Chain A
Amino acid sequence: DSGVTQTPKHLITATGQRVTLRCSPRSGDLSVYWYQQSLDQGLQFLIHYYNGEERAKGNILERFSAQQFPDLHSELNLSSLELGDSALYFCASSAEDTLMGEAFFGQGTRLTVV
């Protein structure tokens, strides 16, 4: 158990809908990262939050947004969903943003858009 909790584990929704994925980082970790894993794109970095502030954006679509709350949990909001958004979405947390600090991943949320 990595200590990172993601909910829900599975999500099936229709095109055009909006969903929210939730992540609780390991106790004490200030950094939260979101990644998307799909067959064609592999593992893609979406966004990074540190102690409530956005630090960096990667390949995140404008239809997607995220935030990190004062209790450090994070939510990834996906709207106007398309079939191509079907993927495994990971949240990862780390205690420090150094070269050494490994990221601990949650179990992922498998999103299926139908």
Chain B
Amino acid sequence: AQKITQTQPGMFVQEKEAVTLDCTYDTSDQSYGLFWYKQPSSGEMIFLIYQGSYDEQNATEGRYSLNFQKARKSANLVISASQLGDSAMYFCAMKNRGSTLGRLYFGRGTQLTVWP
């Protein structure tokens, strides 16, 4: 069974500092995709970044980067230069070649609080 684990229920970071949100995954597939989504208090789910299992380079999107360690099955999100607007719930998710290719498996999320 596919599983995503986010061990940090809450994280705190000071504005302008970098923060790493942890994510480990479990799958027996060789081909899979890893995603991070942000959910502000308003509720919508915002796509942040994607990493494919065969990608050799870590994905980056602006201030977001994904620290992909395939052997350890980890896909940590790094947010550089945190801003107050980064305060939100962050979800790690995975797709694989299971019963539904497009379906996302989500972790339980990490609540990030950025303080001034």
Binding site for B on A (CB under 8 A): 2, 31, 33, 35, 42-43, 45, 48, 55-56, 58, 88, 90, 92, 94, 96-108, 110
- Additional 6 contacts, C-beta under 8 A, given A2-B44, A99-B95: A35-B104, A48-B100, A99-B97, A101-B102, A102-B47, A106-B44
**B85 beta carbon closer than 8 Å to chain A:** no
Residues of B within 8 A of A35 (CB): 104
Identify A48's interface contact among B52, B91, B102, CB under 8 A: B102
Binding site for A on B (CB under 8 A): 31-33, 35, 37, 42-47, 50, 52-53, 91, 95-97, 99-109
The answer on a CB contact under 8 Å between A42 and B109 is: yes
Identify A55's interface contact among B100, B104, B106, CB under 8 A: B100
A98 touching B101 in the complex, CB below 8 Å, given contacts A2-B44, A108-B43: yes
CB-nearest residue of chain A relative to B44? A107
A33 touching B102 in the complex, CB below 8 Å, given contacts A99-B97, A100-B33, A108-B43: yes
A61 to B65, CA, bound (A): 37
The answer on a CB contact under 8 Å between A33 and B103 is: yes
The answer on a CB contact under 8 Å between A105 and B101 is: no
Minimum CB–CB distance from A33 to chain B (whole Å) comes to 7
Identify A97's interface contact among B32, B44, B52, B102, CB under 8 A: B102
Identify B103's interface contact among A45, A90, A100, CB under 8 A: A45
Minimum CB–CB distance from B111 to chain A (whole Å) comes to 12
The answer on a CB contact under 8 Å between B102 and A94 is: yes
The answer on a CB contact under 8 Å between A99 and B96 is: yes
A-B contacts, 15 of them at CB < 8 A, read A45-B105, A48-B100, A48-B103, A56-B103, A92-B45, A99-B32, A99-B33, A99-B101, A100-B52, A101-B102, A102-B47, A103-B104, A104-B47, A105-B45, A106-B44
The answer on a CB contact under 8 Å between B43 and A107 is: yes
